[in-house]
Homo-oligomer: A and B are copies of this chain.
Amino acid sequence: MKRTQSHQKADTPSVGTVSGSDQSRPQWRPQRRSLKSFQAEFDFSLEAICTRMLERHRDTIRTQKPQVAVAKLMRIIQTTLTLANRKGFHSMSLRDLAAESGLSMGALYTYFDTKDTLLMMILGEVSSAVSEALGSPPGHLADDPAKRLHWLLETHVYLTEVMQPWFVFAYMEAKAFPKEGREKATRSELSTEKMIADALADGTDRGLFSIANVELTASLIKPLLQDWYVKRSKYRRRGISPEQYVQAVSEFVGTAIQSRSVPKAPRRRRSDQRSEIAAAEPF
């Protein structure tokens, strides 16, 4: 798994390998996808999403020419995400939206029949993006829980990086969804957590991870992934790249769950061991 690290010396004791077999295969390199390679794999550009959006709502969108429709949709959606993320979807009036996007009130209603419909259209793209990106992990990861977990973290970060405003929107407006949408959001969220929990459980069964409560641990990983898009500006301010964040979360999680069944360092006693706990030990 991501224990071996490209730009650090190989014998760093700080990270124990997970299993003996890994140790005996020094040439193995984890395949790390970069943000770029993720973008090469999936097209989650505004234009691509709006194209899918148009297809999905051809019956309700009254504009005939696809080109025109997609172009307008892009303006509408872009503006909606900006305004809604700034002051909330409810506080964004359709007059705001019209003025900012350069369309008229009437024109807006060519694309949706209700403000709530607009909200649901956006949510729909978010949730379908999640299933597309996370839905089918590469088959060769099936037998490696650690890699699969890493792949999940990585893919989630990259996806939410590429569609950040969409995810913030879905996250913040979730409670205002017209029930159907709220359930959709809940379902989607739980399914992600389930994938994480499955990888954790699998790894625990194989003795790779040491996890007391798989479900609870999965619950702790989820907010780490959400923080990337919810607090995106904080990380931008600090100059953390998506790749770095993946690395940090991966290390953080990996160290926390790694199996300690194989001792890695001889335990030397020191005198002042009142400080033994570190937060690490169960108190």
Contacts and interface: CB of A to CB of B under 8 A. Distances in A.
A276 B264 CA distance: 5
A272 to B, nearest CB: 8
A203 B265 CA distance: 20
A35 to B, nearest CB: 15
A277 B30 contact: yes
Contact of A264 (B88, B144, B209, B267): B267
A266 B267 CA distance: 9
Interface size range of chain A in the complex: 35 or more
Contact of A278 (B90, B208, B235): B208
Contact of A270 (B150, B210, B234): B210
A140 interface: no
B256 A255 contact: yes
A250 interface: yes
Contacts of A260: 13-14, 16, 264-265, 267, 270
Contact of A240 (B13, B216, B283): B216
Contacts of A176: 87-88, 91
Interface stretch (A41-49, A57-65, A68-76, A220-228): A220-228
A253 interface: yes
A247 interface: yes
A273 interface: yes
A205 to B, nearest CB: 13
A155 interface: no
A51 interface: no
B270 A258 contact: no
Interface in A127-162: 144, 146-147, 149-150, 153
B227 A222 contact: yes
A153 B281 CA distance: 15
Given A253-B256, A253-B279, A276-B264, A219 B210 contact: no
B146 A275 contact: yes
Contacts of A175: 85-88, 172
A212 interface: yes
A210 B250 CA distance: 15
A238 interface: yes
Contacts of A147: 277
A235 B279 CA distance: 22
A159 to B, nearest CB: 18
A222 to B, nearest CB: 7
Those 5 A-B pairs whose CB atoms lie nearest each other, nearest first: A254-B279, A254-B280, A265-B276, A223-B227, A258-B280
